Amino acid sequence: MTVLDDLKRQMLFDGLDDGELRAIEQIVEPVKVSRGDPIFRENEPTKGVYLIKSGEVEITKKLPIDLKTKMLITVRNTQNCCEIRKTPYGWRQVFATLLDGQFFGELSVIEGKKKHGADADAVEDSELYLIQPEKLSEIETSAPATMLKILRVIARVSSKNMRYLDKQLLRLLIGI
């Protein structure tokens, strides 16, 4: 399978034609990550947007824990609201488990943040593609129609994620 074929399977590039994908093919960087290894850590410099070619990636955030927070975790876990677990690195909340064709790291890039706001770890051996922020800026300048299509996908996925989080919050607050 070629890189172009891989890009055609990526959710982020839904609606892009072969010409647009060939341009993107020139800027993606392959990245291999072994099971259990970090892809990036919270507060590390933003590296870019990652596309999952194969494997599984988990996005988590470290939680500061005190007695009140431990009680909240117990309530959340009993309501099956959010996955929060103790790891060797402290308490972590799982925000997403992502699979082939999905993407992550986009929020830090879109918001212009210099550092990542969460951790990303390979749950399985994973093959990824990385698009550095500067390369996305080049697309924005040289092919604004392509960038608009990409941003629409990001907006659609972000909106879906917000609706999911709203439902989780309601479940936590009123048990529905």
Amino acid, single-letter form, for residue 112: G
> Which pair of tokens denotes residue 3?
């890189």
- State the DSSP string of 20-69: HHHHHHTT-EEEEE-TT-EEE-TTSBP--EEEEEESEEEEEEE----HHH
> Which pair of tokens denotes residue 112?
């212009």
Tell me the per-residue pLDDT of 88-133, one tens digit each, with 9 for 90 and over. 667 777 888 999 999 999 988 888 889 998 999 999 999 999 999 9
Contact 45, 119 (CB under 8 A): no
In this structure, what CATH number is given to the domain that contains residue 96? 2.60.120.10
Write out the residue range of the structural domain in which residue 45 sits: 3-174
Higher pLDDT, 92 or 158: 158
Total of domains in the chain: 1
Give the side-chain half-sphere CA count within 13 A for 98.
Answer: 27
- The pTM score is 0.83
Which CA distances in Å does 67 have to 70, 71, 91, 173? 5, 6, 13, 19
What are the backbone dihedrals phi and psi of residue 81, each rounded to the nearest 5 degrees, phi first? -85, -55
Higher pLDDT, 39 or 159: 39
